Amino acid sequence: MTSVTDTAPARPAFRLTRALQGGERLVVPALLIAGWEAFARSGMLPPALLPAPSAVLHALGDWVFGFDETTQTYSGHWLRDALASALRVFGGFALASLLGILAGVAIGWSRLFEKTLEPTLQMLRPIPPVSWIPLAIIWFGIADKPAIFLVFLGAFFPVLMNAIHGVKTVDHNLVRAGAMMGANGRQMLTDIVLPAALPSIFAGLRIAVGSAWMLTVTAEMVAVKSGLGYVLWDSYYFLRYDIVLAAMISIGLLGYLSDLGLKAIMARTLRWQQTTTVQGRAG
């Protein structure tokens, strides 16, 4: 019974932290924003170089809804810009997922593909996608294509690596069990190896969607004349730091939403996995 008295004093403190938990998360961001607002209004830096959060919000609002044209030519065009970027992300990401999973599963499953395909791909992998920009521009010109190409390069390798890993680490005994139940080569791949590798493949897709957003913005800064990245870079030339920050916030939000969407798909697909972490492999 001593153990009960020992732990008893800890309880109220525990309850207090739980009560605070909701508000606790907001404390640091709120302080940061308030400090930033106060500093920007103090006049120590010209407002053009450090816009206050309220100014950024104002710019973002006008960019989205176009109420007072503070963002000039961008006023009310946010949806168009966001859509342009999102379509590039989606295009490059979809292509990278498709080819990454196909190549990854082939390399993970077959010694032949591993020997013929993998060395080349692993040699291309360390080359930063950004260094392809000059070639991408001569090959594809200034339009959507070089951006999609860069997004593809950035998203392909995380998908590839995780798909290879997923297939290679499939429990050997599951394959034996499949053979025991009479699975042929194709069934072994589609009914056993692929589902078993899915958690790993999804991990790769989540890394890839983040890289995709990073690269579409990079590409838009140099190789395209539309999208959130283009607005960001263009506003920098006009010293509109409020729009620069509004663009950064937009990219962050959209990237976060893409990850949430992917997580939702993953949760549905891998529903069988969810209880594993809670209950463990009880005896």
Partner 1 sequence: MAAIELRNIVKVFSDKRRGRDLLTLDNINLDIEANDFVCLLGPSGCGKSTLLNIIAGFEQATSGRTLVDGKQVERPGSDRGVVFQQPTLMPWLTAIDNIAFHLKLKGVAKAERNDRAMEFIDLVGLRGFEHHHPSEMSGGMNQRVGIARALLMNPSVILMDEPFAALDAQTKLEMQEELVAIWQKRRCTIVFVTHSVDEALVLGNKIVVMTRRPGRIREAVNFDLPRPRDITSPEFNDAKRHILSLIREESTRLAQAS
Q: Closer CB to partner 1, residue 238 or residue 272? A: 272
Please select the residue that binds partner 1; options are 11, 111, 268, 281, rule is CB under 8 A. Answer: 281
Does 282 help bind partner 1 (rule: CB under 8 A)?
yes
Does 279 help bind partner 1 (rule: CB under 8 A)?
yes
C-alpha distances (whole Å) from 5 to each of 2, 10, 13, 76 are: 5, 10, 15, 63
Does 177 help bind partner 1 (rule: CB under 8 A)?
yes
- Rg (C-alpha) for the chain, rounded Å, is 25
Q: How many residues bind partner 1 (CB under 8 A)?
A: 28
Q: Closer CB to partner 1, residue 111 or residue 172? A: 172
Report how far apart the first and last C-alpha atoms of the chain are (Å, whole number): 29
Please select the residue that binds partner 1; options are 180, 185, 237, 268, rule is CB under 8 A. Answer: 180
| Residue 204 to residue 152: CA distance in whole angstroms | 14
What's the min distance (Å) between Cβ of 194 and partner 1? Answer: 10
Q: Closer CB to partner 1, residue 11 or residue 271? A: 271
Q: Which residues contact 112 (CB under 8 A, 6 or more apart)?
A: none
What's the min distance (Å) between Cβ of 171 and partner 1? Answer: 7
| Residue 181 to residue 197: CA distance in whole angstroms | 20
- The interface region with partner 1, picked from 10-18, 31-39, 175-183, 236-244 by CB under 8 A, is 175-183
What's the min distance (Å) between Cβ of 276 and partner 1? Answer: 4
Q: Closer CB to partner 1, residue 194 or residue 205? A: 194
Q: Closer CB to partner 1, residue 101 or residue 245? A: 101
| Residue 85 to residue 228: CA distance in whole angstroms | 6
What does the DSSP assignment read for 49-64?
Answer: TS--HHHHHHHHHHHH
Largest CA distance in the chain: 78
Which residues, 237 to 276, sit near partner 1 by CB under 8 A? Answer: 270, 272-276
Please select the residue that binds partner 1; options are 8, 138, 173, 268, rule is CB under 8 A. Answer: 173
- Read off the tokens for 155: 């998203």
Q: How many residues does the chain have?
A: 283
Cα angle at 110 between 106 and 115, to 5 degrees? 95
- Read off the tokens for 98: 């498709």
What's the min distance (Å) between Cβ of 111 and partner 1? Answer: 18
Helix pair 144-168, 111-124: axis angle to 10 deg:
140
> Residue 266 in 3-state DSSP?
helix
Site string for partner 1, 182-201 (x = CB under 8 A): xxx--x---xx--xx-x---
Site string for partner 1, 9-48 (x = CB under 8 A): ----------------------------------------
User: In terms of Cα–Cα distance, which of 256, 270, 273, 242 is closest to 63?
Assistant: 242
Please select the residue that binds partner 1; options are 47, 112, 171, 239, rule is CB under 8 A. Answer: 171
Q: Which residues bind partner 1 (CB under 8 A)?
A: 171, 173-174, 176-184, 187, 191-192, 195-196, 198, 270, 272-276, 279, 281-283
